[in-house]
Amino acid sequence: MFLSVFFCLTLIANVKAERSQPKNIFLLGGQSNMSGRGGNYNDTNNIVRWNGKIPPECASNKNIHRLNANKTWVPAHEPLHQDIDVLKTCGIGPGMPFANEILAKVPTFGSIGLVPCAIGGTRIAMWGRGTVLYNRLVDRANASLNCGGKIRALLWFQGESDTSKEDSKLYKSRLENFINNLRQDLNISELPVIMVGICSADQGPYMNLIRSIQLNYNDTNVRTVDAMGSTFLADHKHLDTKSQIRVGQKLAAAFLSSFDGLHPK
């Protein structure tokens, strides 16, 4: 009797796990504009708050999940990075509008799993192989596959912290090493990467060098969408909600047009 009950409970648990395991997994990496600051403001005490406003493009969807800090799949909702980028106030980012746009364009695409990994203020050197951020990205990526699914792409929004004279000179080689190492360590030799060309107005004279590297990256499985034309919060560094939605939808369009998004495997 006990064994029969145990078997039934185990079967139910496995069925629930299978239902919650997304088929299509996307890794989200980079710094603050990936983790999201849309809707943030400074209150009367100059403390950064999120206004809690969620536009329809960022709404929860039963077919969108996120891997939380405990590496468990849960229903996705804004702010996606609230338990990952814990030292900052997170708001709207590009992840939810990206996922919602894919499902709007291709209703048969299947469930989507978002794996938030971005941390505000991080330079590309902090994502090198063997660093805390890199190891956590690989660990979370592997954990996302525990019950099946397939990693479809890495979404990458980073570079604002590398606009110094010295860091900008090394950005190309560091970015290439990061992408190549990640593909090797995840055993996905042709992992698609869709990155965002940075555009923040307050990044100094070397921002255009970073942009040039991103917009002209020479790799068959890398695409770059341009954030130029974005509008910002009062700090002139972080995209507002409207522009985060725009970037997320651009990322979705790039994936669907470039990486067999219309025919998920």
- The residues that are catalytic are 32, 235, 238
Cα separation, 169 vs 172, in Å, equals: 7
Q: Order of strands, edge to edge, in the sheet holding 222-226?
A: 73-75, 64-67, 112-116, 24-30, 150-157, 193-197, 222-226
Q: What CA dihedral angle connects 237, 60, 259 and 159, to 10 degrees?
A: 20
Angle, alpha carbons 220-144-177 (nearest 5°): 40
Cβ atoms of residues 32 and 238 within 8 Å:
yes
Cα separation, 94 vs 71, in Å, equals: 21
Say how many CA atoms lie within 13 Å of 238 toward its Cβ: 25
Structure tokens at 191: 């992992």
Cβ atoms of residues 82 and 74 within 8 Å:
no
SS3 category, 26: strand
